[in-house]
Amino acid sequence: MQKSNFSLTNKVAIITGGASGIGRAIAQKFASCGAIVHILELHPEKGTDLKTELIEAGGRCTIHACNVASGLEVNRVIAEIIEHSAGIDILVNNAGIAHVGNLEQTKEADLDRLYEVNIKGVYNCMLACVEAMKAKGGVILNMASIASHIGIADRFAYSMTKGAVLTMTYSVAKDYVHYGIRCNSISPARVHTPFVDGFIATNYPGKEKETFEALSKTQPIGRMGTPEEIANLALFLCSDEAGFITGTDYPIDGGFITLNS
């Protein structure tokens, strides 16, 4: 195992949407630091290579088929994890979907689709885990966004959901601090993930390179973030070294919020 000041040795960690992008990087980081990683994925086959990679490196990882928008599915999977693990130490609510469009370009179906995953999915997972965490404490980390804080053009529905993630974080932190449960969130700006590459390829065919450079330059620091940088912050916030931190959001945005306001 990789040595780290922020050990997660034998911590049971649930990561939603952990097979790709930021979630994948968090799973890799947590496993390398000793966590017992459980990944909840709508399409679990996407995580097969990740599971193999982590196990071959000496880590522990299980992939669970789960639609986080379904309370029944989430409750079933979380109950199975608790039964075999005698508890949950960490929940990372990373699963999320996006929509591009302003108010007039957002259909009711778009709003419902994003609500189901980005808001209800976070609610379902926190609710399913909180009773077990009340027994011995735990850490909840939610993936918010810079869109939780400032207006982003053509992100009406997405901003709505990420604003909700931020305020749910504050509410849970307030209500459960006396149970030893810490709840924080991370607000990334644009991060270079396969989703970004796919978005560019679909919407700007033949102009991928210049579009990528233009999007990178919208970050004041001059580039996109990396999934590994988000994972490093997640590791700290979920470690015992962050034991005095709760009810706080952490922008990791290359200066976007402050320097663009």
Catalytic residue set: 158
Tokens of 33: 């630091």
> Strands across the sheet with 138-143, in order?
60-65, 36-41, 12-16, 90-93, 138-143, 181-188, 249-252
Q: What is the 3-state secondary structure (H, E, C) of the chain?
A: CCCCCCCCCCCEEEEECCCCHHHHHHHHHHHHCCCEEEEEECCHHHHHHHHHHHHHCCCEEEEEECCCCCHHHHHHHHHHHHHHHCCCCEEEECCCCCCCECHHHCCHHHHHHHHHHHHHHHHHHHHHHHHHHHHHCEEEEEECCHHHCCCCCCEHHHHHHHHHHHHHHHHHHHHHHHHCEEEEEEEECCECCHHHHHHHHHHCCCCHHHHHHHHHHCCCCCCCECHHHHHHHHHHHHCHHHCCCCCCEEEECCCHHHHCC
Q: Which of 81, 86, 102, 87 is nearest to 151 (CA)?
A: 102
